[in-house]
Amino acid sequence: MLNKLGIIFIVIIAISFLINCSESKLENNGMNINVENPELIDSYKLYFPEPSGICFTFNNDAFWSISDETETIYKISYKGEILDSIILQEKDLEGITAVDENTLAVVCELERKVAIIDLSGNVIRENIIETNDIFNSGLEGITYVPSDSVFFVLNEKDPGLLIKLDKELNLLETKELNFAKDYSSIFYSEFDSSLWILSDESLQVFKCDIEGNVKSAYRVEVPQQEGFVLDTDNHIFYVVSDSAEKIYIYKYK
């Protein structure tokens, strides 16, 4: 009897393991990738409403973050204190990236627009990127690759897209993404020329090659994830929550 019970117990454990594996593969579109669990080491309050995109300043001494409610860019410390602000005329701001010490680039979801601005909020250049006409499923994240002078922009979903633009914001190429439920932020790492793509609905951040092919993933249990930046020197990354109005700090291997 004990042997039979032992066998039944082993079978139940094995079935549960297979179900969990199947769910993980289903969530990641059937890909056999390693999903790690980073350590949450801290979090800080952000003192402005509906924080969305985030990026390092050009000198890496602070962050730029953006609010789609106040239509303002905020310069904030690593602990979330507001250091400066730039008021914009653009609407529905979602993503932000630093181009150089004098210019930033932002994306506007509803207008499907990418704009390059100076630190006074003046628009230097802009372009409409046609993706879809679905409300609240437009452009989300943006990152800049200084070595190639190109931008990568995300379309959130329906379809999820990785869009490559030159420095003048001309369209170079578009790739459809299908490894997550949506795509909310993107970060380029100069350390290994990788793209890190955040998914709010999948609760994960995906490390990809420069072509957008997934290499690994990290589970991130943060509500309404809108912004992501990576610090490779210290093996930490930062995730911005819109609804919680906080920035979460994770240690990864």
The residue among 98, 231, 232, 15 whose CA lies nearest residue 247 is 231
Q: Judge if 90 and 19 occupy the same domain.
A: no
Q: Judge if 173 and 208 occupy the same domain.
A: yes
Tokens representing residue 90 in the block = 């653009």
Tokens representing residue 213 in the block = 């092919």
Q: Judge if 28 and 79 occupy the same domain.
A: no
Q: Judge if 198 and 234 occupy the same domain.
A: yes
Q: How far lies 55's CA from each of 123, 131, 134, 173, in Å?
A: 19, 24, 27, 23
Q: Judge if 13 and 40 occupy the same domain.
A: no
Q: Judge if 40 and 107 occupy the same domain.
A: yes
Q: Judge if 79 and 24 occupy the same domain.
A: no
Q: Judge if 83 and 20 occupy the same domain.
A: no
Q: Judge if 122 and 20 occupy the same domain.
A: no
Q: Judge if 126 and 196 occupy the same domain.
A: yes
Number of domains within the chain: 2
User: 187: domain range?
Assistant: 36-251
Residues paired with 101 in a beta bridge: none
- 253 residues of the chain, pLDDT tens digit each: 445 544 444 433 443 443 344 334 434 455 688 899 999 999 999 999 999 999 999 999 999 999 989 999 999 999 999 999 999 987 789 999 999 999 999 999 878 899 999 999 999 999 999 876 665 568 999 999 999 999 999 999 999 999 999 999 999 999 999 999 999 999 999 999 999 999 999 999 999 999 999 999 999 999 999 999 999 999 999 999 999 999 999 999 8
Long-range contacts of 19-28 (CB under 8 A, 24+ apart): 27/181, 27/202, 27/204, 28/179, 28/180, 28/202, 28/204, 28/214, 28/217
Tokens representing residue 10 in the block = 């082993």
Q: Which amino acid is at 162?
A: L
Q: Judge if 11 and 122 occupy the same domain.
A: no
Q: Judge if 3 and 124 occupy the same domain.
A: no
Tokens representing residue 99 in the block = 């181009």
Q: How far lies 175's CA from each of 8, 80, 212, 225, 244, in Å?
A: 47, 34, 8, 22, 32
Kindly report the CA angle at 200 between 140 and 110, in degrees rounded to 5? 25
